[in-house]
Amino acid sequence: MDIMIVTGMSGAGKTFVGSVLEDFGYYCIDNIPVSLLSQFIDLYSHQEGKNQKIALIIDVRGCDNFNELITILNGIREKSYGHCHLLFLDASPEVLINRYKETRRTHPLMLSHPMTLSQALQKEQFMLSEVKRLADDVIDTSHLSQNACREQLNRIVHGNTAPQLVVQCFSFGFKYGLPHEADLVFDVRCLPNPFYIDELKHKTGLDKEVSDYVMSFETSQTFFKKICDLVEYLLPLYLGDGRSQLNVAFGCTGGKHRSVTMAEALCKHLGGCENCTALTMHRDIAK
């Protein structure tokens, strides 16, 4: 397994990092008690069909003595479950105080002992000092944008490889409503409709006869080429903006013929693009 242990100062961005790691394919558990780490990993390792990548997020709510984490972490590494990485998130006290003021949250140490926010941060910093020293990677989020933080995480998780963008190519029928999750919507009702061909009417764009019919027209081929050019141009822009997923929707009247053909064709085309994983989903094909 690939085990990522995430800890650090409260307010330094552990929740955001957890969401990014989920985008990277990790199964994340937030605020797991340190005393349960070994037991959880041992039980999880014996599950069939499990996700091979897990991220366990720990903060001061889950441990009174963080030196215990070092002992447990060494024990996990000795059992050879797989690669185990300790990531520490930090930020300056001034930035953390401002973040708490903006969110109006309460520092977890202030819930059990009467103290000021500054005192709580100082105590937490002391509690985590040894863990920070032994961490495999430290990310200081004081002046880091979310995109820059995502890039650092990508470097840690994937090395020097570029981040991947998941492109969901899906079809829908306009008579069933627009898809709310779509980032780009293309209306393909302007293309020749197989519905009016008797032998094609009850088939779908997944059938070769239908897709061949739709793509046999010059208008369809020109339309598709321009869509490919646009999507290929947008891919690096979305990646640069820190996006992990792009939803491209094609709509025709019923969502069975033209839209399915175009979604399948785009997915196949994007299969040859770097830093991109393309999937298809046909919302209304069975209606």
DSSP state letters, 35-86: GGHHHHHHHHHT-TT--SEEEEE--GGG-S-THHHHHHHHHHHHTT-SEEEE
CATH number where 90 lies = 3.40.50.300
Handedness of CA 4, 48, 168, 166 (dihedral sign): positive
Q: What are phi and psi of 245, to 5 degrees?
A: -145, 140
The structure's pTM equals 0.63
pLDDT at 188: 97
Q: What is the DSSP letter of 178?
A: -
Tens of pLDDT, residue by residue over 155-165, are: 888 875 666 78
Query: Is 29 in the same domain as 122?
Result: yes
Residues 74 and 197 in one domain: no
Distance from C-alpha of 88 to C-alpha of 81, rounded to nearest angstrom: 21
Statement to judge: residues 18 and 123 lie in one domain: yes
Q: Are residues 140 and 90 in the same domain?
A: yes
205 and 248 share one domain: yes
Structure tokens at 146: 């979310």
Which of the 8 DSSP states describes residue 265? H
Decide if 195 is inside a domain: yes
282 three-state secondary structure: strand
> What are the tens digits of pLDDT across the range 53-111?
999 999 887 566 677 888 888 888 888 777 889 999 999 999 999 999 998 889 988 98
Domain containing residue 130: 2-158
Is the per-residue pLDDT at 264 higher than 60? yes
Q: How many CA atoms does the CB half-sphere of 26 hold within 13 Å? A: 25
DSSP labels for 123-176?
HHHHHHHHHHHH-SEEEE-TT--HHHHHHHHHHHHHTTSPPPEEEEEEEEEGGG
Same structural domain for residues 255 and 150?
Answer: no
- Give domain status of residue 287, yes or no: no
| Total count of domains within the chain | 2
3-state secondary structure of 222: helix
Q: Is the pLDDT of residue 153 over 80?
A: yes
Reported as a single tens digit per residue, the pLDDT across 15-39 is: 999 999 998 889 999 988 888 888 8
Residue 273 has pLDDT above 90, yes or no: no
Indicate the burial class of 274 (C-beta count within 10 angstroms; 0-12, 13-18, 19 or more). exposed
